[in-house]
């Protein structure tokens, strides 16, 4: 990460963000796989009561976004993207930190995610944040590419439990 005095702020995504989020997913996450996180799918996530969709704002523009779905004890990071012009400036870490903090408040003890097997940079990023690779999922992405499931454990009990 490059030292940077520019602040990244996190806010909840709105309907006005949906198309930009879908396009970032298509271009930065799903390239070569087909587009599954369309505007409609992102909008459904935005409306889902068990899901947080957030946008990182840096230099007055959408620098990235994250979508996380929460269960009783486990959350699943569905998508995380950072625009190339904002990469390596702490935007991804800020997004993950915000989503993890929300998960902890909700009593979640573990976060899971899938990363493309061929995306070593993403897997290394998550490893630096404390995620461990737990499973290889052959053909996970429409039979075209394998995925690596990664998990981060927060602790043995619900947030606030003694």
Instruction: Find all residues with CB under 8 Å of 43, minimum gap 6, and list them.
Output: 15, 18
What is the per-residue pLDDT for 149? 97
What is the per-residue pLDDT for 5? 56
pLDDT in tens, 9-65: 999 999 999 999 999 999 999 998 889 999 999 999 999 999 999 999 998 899 999
Cα separation of 82 and 60, whole Å? 14
2 has a pLDDT exceeding 70: no
Query: Are 21 and 41 contacting, i.e. CB atoms less than 8 angstroms apart?
Result: no
Query: Are 41 and 22 contacting, i.e. CB atoms less than 8 angstroms apart?
Result: yes
H, E, C per residue of the chain? CCCCCCCEEEEECCHHHHHHHHHHHHHHHCCCCCCCCCHHHHHHHHHCCCEEEEEEEECCEEEEEEEEEECCCEEEEEEEEECHHHCCCCHHHHHHHHHHHHHHHCCCCEEEEEEECCCHHHHHHHHHCCCEEEEEEEEEECCCEEEEEEEEECCCCCCCCC
Other Cβ atoms less than 10 A from the Cβ of 19: the count is 13
What is the per-residue pLDDT for 6? 76
User: What is the model's pTM?
Assistant: 0.90
pLDDT in tens, 77-129: 999 999 998 999 999 999 999 999 999 999 999 999 999 999 999 999 999 99
């Amino acid at each position: 990460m490059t030292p940077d005095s520019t602040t990244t702020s996190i806010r909840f995504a709105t309907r006005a963000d949906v198309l930009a989020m879908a396009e970032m997913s298509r271009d930065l996450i799903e390239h070569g796989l087909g587009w599954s996180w369309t505007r409609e799918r992102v909008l459904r996530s935005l409306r889902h009561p068990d899901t947080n969709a957030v946008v990182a704002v840096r230099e007055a523009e959408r620098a990235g976004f994250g979508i996380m779905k929460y269960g009783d004890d486990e959350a699943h990071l569905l998508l995380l993207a950072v625009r190339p012009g904002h990469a390596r400036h702490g935007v991804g870490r800020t997004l993950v930190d915000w989503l993890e903090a929300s998960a902890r408040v909700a009593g979640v003890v573990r976060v899971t995610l899938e990363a493309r097997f061929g995306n070593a940079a993403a897997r290394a990023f998550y490893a630096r944040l404390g995620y461990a690779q737990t499973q290889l999922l052959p053909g996970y992405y429409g039979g075209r590419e394998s995925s690596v499931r990664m998990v981060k454990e927060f602790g043995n009990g619900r947030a606030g439990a003694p």
